[in-house]
Amino acid sequence: MVNLLHLDLSSNQLTGPIPIHITNCSGLEYLSLSNNNLNGSIPYQAGNFAFLKTLDLSLNLISGEIPFSIGNFLNLLDLDLSHNFLFGNVPTHLPHSYLQHLSLSHNNLNGTIPSQIANLDALLTLDLSHNWISGEIPLVIGNMRLWHLDLSHNNLYGRIPNSLPHFNWSYINLQFNSLQGQIPEHLWPFHEQLVGNKDLCYDNLNIKGEFKDFQPCFASHRVEDVLHYLKIFLPIIMFLAFFVIGFLFLHKRKIKNCKDQPRSIKNGDIFSIWNYDGRIAYEDIIKATENFNGKYCIGVGAHGNVYKAQLSINKIVALKKLHHSKTENLVNEVEVLTRIRHKNIVKLYGFCLHRRSMFLIYEYMEKGSLFHALRNDTEAMELNWNIRVKIIKDIAFAVSYLHHGCNPPIVHRDISSKNILLNLELKAFVSDFGLARLLDPDSSNQTTMAGTYGYMAPELAYTIVMTEKCDVYSFGVVALEILMGTHPGEFLSSSLAQNIKLNELLDSRLAPPSNEIDVQDIIFVATIAFSCL
């Protein structure tokens, strides 16, 4: 097998880890194991492929970090590890002599984009999309010869470097990050690939119609001019600031006390707001809901009712009015949610404790719950197979973040289709943390029975110990419910599940998937769902 040059085992439904003995084929120049169900990590011995030019492990279930030995592929031209569950930082030890195409998209990579990426002199394609990469876009990327760059769906922030070249690109995508500042003029032709960055702006009013997804910049001064004026006025501003602070300190001590407190006290309310652009008084909420009139009620749960409210600041929010006996749950829910920052988890704006009412203020989800969407034929038809797969992935990302991205890990304890909400773009968000508990890694005792029947792990019939595995089981049930269009019910415990074909389970309201990518994705998520049960 030393003389074997080309090995393609893609799309064969292979399972298990990558066999180490495959590295004995040290003469390989092409290796593709893509589109299978391989799991485990990438063997360190993979570095034995000294002559390899193409390595494709995409569309598998591979996890772990990218091994350091991958830098031994001195002749590598194409490296595709996309659509897996790899985590850790973007590697700095990639082969830099000949590598032309690098795809690490759709994984769980975090950290920043390393400046060493510029050492890849021959690189033409760089795809790091759909990860958890943060930080700023390195300036050195502007020195590369890239013609395809995809950094979309990450947590990048800061300004778009002006050093990004304007003559090489055939494709650039920076969508759905947290980039800010003025869009460089040479990237105007790619403005559709910049949407989802709410703080980006443009400075030419003549192109307003084309840039409907962005706001105009309020100032277009050059940085040098700003620094010039700062040198002149900063001393004056600082003097006035110290004067005002001293005046307020001497004459309005109550203001300082109010700032020191995390909650404002007004008319018996204890009110707190996070990540919100205004103060909402209790009276405003009473007025917006007509004292929680039933016509504004959009949901009923075990811990309280949910109301839709159009506030005076022209912002629609969801108000969860809690039962008086659930004060401890309120504190728990707030403490958990204020630490969570994730694109697939419903955002908490604030909360209020009042002698007459207690409620939470959430981001409003226009499409309501996944439970109701699947049970309404018209809405269910909108959820085509591609959208359903994306919804399952959204939920998986949220649960993965709770279990692996939070310290200590968080167990949701009540994952069900009623607690999955959809926005106008049919993107899924996990909600309702009234039952959430922080799971201390040093303790396995989470002994408060919780959850929704039909979604609870069967072992809870014998024990009430709650772990992350209970969430994993519930996720598997929800994933099957999305594919089937209804709750799996008795199918979960039926012996028929052993012999039934996947196409017999799929929602009959939709035409069977005919697109090859949809078919592969459905097989992939179905495999994951069954492995969770």
Quick check: is 127 catalytic?
Answer: no
Q: How many Å apart are CA 392 and CA 407, to the nearest integer?
A: 24
Q: How many Å apart are CA 328 and CA 259, to the nearest integer?
A: 25
Q: Give the residue ranges of DSSP H helices in 454-507.
A: 468-484, 502-505
Token pair of 219 as six digits: 């100032």
Instruction: Give the DSSP letter string of 191-225.
Output: GGGGTT-TEEEE--GGGTTTTTTSEEPS----HHH
Cis bond upstream, residue 408 (ω within 30) = yes
Residue ranges at the known binding site: 320
The phi-psi region of residue 106 (left if phi > 0; otherwise alpha if psi is between -120 and 50; otherwise beta) is left
Query: Please, is 133 exposed, middle or buried when counting C-beta atoms within 10 Å of its C-beta (0-12, 13-18, 19+)?
Result: buried
189 phi and psi angles, rounded to 5 deg: -65, -15
Residues 6+ apart with CB under 8 A from 148: 124, 125, 126, 127, 169, 170, 171, 172
Beta strand residue intervals within 165-296, DSSP E? 171-173, 178-182, 199-202, 215-216, 264-266, 269-273
Asked whether the CA dihedral 129, 134, 137, 143 is positive or negative, the reply is: negative
Residues 6+ apart with CB under 8 A from 521: 385, 386, 389
Q: Which is the catalytic residue, given 414, 432, 471, 507?
A: 414
Closest CA to 110 of 83, 129, 93, 134: 134
Kindly give the pairing relationship between strand 78-80 and strand 101-103. parallel
Active-site residues, by number, are 414
